[in-house]
Structures are given as structure tokens and as C-alpha cells.
Amino acid sequence: MAVVFTDIVDSTNLWEEEHEQMWEALKKHDELMRAEITKFDGYEVKTGGDSFYVVFDDALQALKFCLAAQKSLHNDNSWPKKIDKIKDYHRPNKVSEETHTSFPYKGLNIRMGIHYGKPDEQRKDPKTDRWDYYGRVINTSARVQGQAKCGEIAVSDNFIQAIWRKQANAPEDAKTPLTDPTRRRILGKELALPWTFELRSMDCDLKGVKANVNITRICWKEWLCVPGEGWKIL
């Protein structure tokens, strides 16, 4: 199962700056996200106001969802004007891990993370009648998302292995040795034109996760955030 977490960048400050406009912007954000979830056969487990928690049976569909959602959010022209013009949020070349970018964002900006694995448990909520999932895979997925910067998609090696199995038609327990060139080759097959992507990779010590996890950040070159110390370009 591919687990995706998303988060609106700097949402706390946006609520302080433009409280009324944020309600309208959040409605637009949710509408665009749910359209892409449906398109790529995802299952919305939860939404937390400024975030989504979604699962996919197919790893490739999860990646396609993230790519399409980022594109949809930034191509939409109906964002509230006040959100679109908040100076500190959209200032080009601002030196900030949160919002530094040279891309002219139109609306809310999100970061996304994908991990892959089998949950330890699943239960149906008797009140909402929706499934929820529990265990290390879910916790790790949330931490992977925390490594993404503004406009990026962070993915784990477990997820890249799942993409490789899909490409190679390999059994579920099969693995391939992952090096920086192989990570780039596997992901590169799915990152087709018209977008030009840059990949950054690093072993990360994630809170609550015992072993280090190699994270690869996927970003459009025009949307680049601050690289961050220790991250290498693939």
C-alpha cells in the first residue's frame, strides 16, 4: 500500500494574515485535491484542515496523483486574490526553508510525502464508516512528508522499490539494489515531459523511526526550494 501525506505550507501564518480568504482557499484546495484522488483511485482516509492522508493500492497511481495534484493547484486561476498576493508567502527568492522559490505560485502551496508498505492494522470507524490504518508504515509516511519543501514530493526507498517492481513486473517481495543512479533511472521513467524535474537525495534520521530512511525529493526545476544542508542532486 502506498501512503501519501500532504500539508499546506505555512498555513498557520496564512490563517493569521487572511482568515476569511483562507476559508475560500481551503475549499478550493480540498476540491482540487479530491478531484485528483478520485482520478487516480486513491482512498481518502482523513483530512486535517490543512492536510490530507490518502492511500493507494498501486504505487504508480500514488506518484501520478502527487504530480497531478501539484500541477493542478499551481495552474488553477480561481484562488482568492488576497491569498495570491500575500507578500511574505510568495516573495521570490526569500531565504526560507518553508517558502523559498523562484516560481510564481498562484495559490496555496503544498508539500507531499509517499512511503510504501503494509500497515500493522486497519479498522473501520463506526461513526464515519471509513477505514483507517495504523502502524510503522503510516508513522514513517508522515515523517517522509516532513522532509519535503514547498511544492515538492518526498519519497522513500520503500516506495521507489515498489515503483521498480511495477516497472519490472516483479513479485511483491522482490528488491533491487538502490544507488543514486538507479533511483534516478527508476523515477525518471515516470517523470516525463513536459515537466523538467530535479531529484535530491539524503539519508534522513526521522523522528520515531529507528533506522535512517533515504529520502528523495522530487521538484520542478522552476519551483526549487532551498536545497538544505546534506542533500545531493541526483
pLDDT of residue 184: 87
The SS3 call for residue 164 is: helix
Residue 32 backbone phi and psi in degrees, to 5? -65, -40
Sorting pLDDT into bands at 50, 70 and 90, what band is 160? Answer: very high
The rounded radius of gyration (Å) of the Cα atoms in the chain is 17
Please give the share of the chain, as a percent, with pLDDT higher than 90.
42
134/214 Cα distance (integer angstroms): 22
pLDDT of residue 86: 61
Whether 87 shows a pLDDT value over 70: the answer reads no
| Bridge partner list, 153 | 112, 218
CATH number of the domain at 203, please.
3.30.70.1230
pLDDT of residue 105: 61
List the one residue out of 70, 84, 11 whose CA is nearest residue 217: 70
Whether 97 shows a pLDDT value over 50: the answer reads no
163 or 200, which is more confident: 163
> Mean pLDDT lowest for which of 30-39, 47-56, 80-89?
80-89
> Mean pLDDT lowest for which of 26-35, 94-103, 122-131, 219-228?
94-103
213 or 157, which is more confident: 157
Whether 230 shows a pLDDT value over 60: the answer reads no
Question: Distance from first CA to last CA of the chain, Å, rounded?
Answer: 26
Tally the domains of the chain.
1
pLDDT of residue 53: 96
70/150 Cα distance (integer angstroms): 10
Please give the share of the chain, as a percent, with pLDDT higher than 70.
80
pLDDT of residue 95: 44
CB-CB contact of 154 with 142 (8 Å): no
Cα dihedral: 192, 193, 195, 197 (round 10): 50
List the one residue out of 220, 114, 102, 219 whose CA is nearest residue 159: 114
pLDDT of residue 96: 45
183 or 88, which is more confident: 183
Domain range for 181 is 2-233
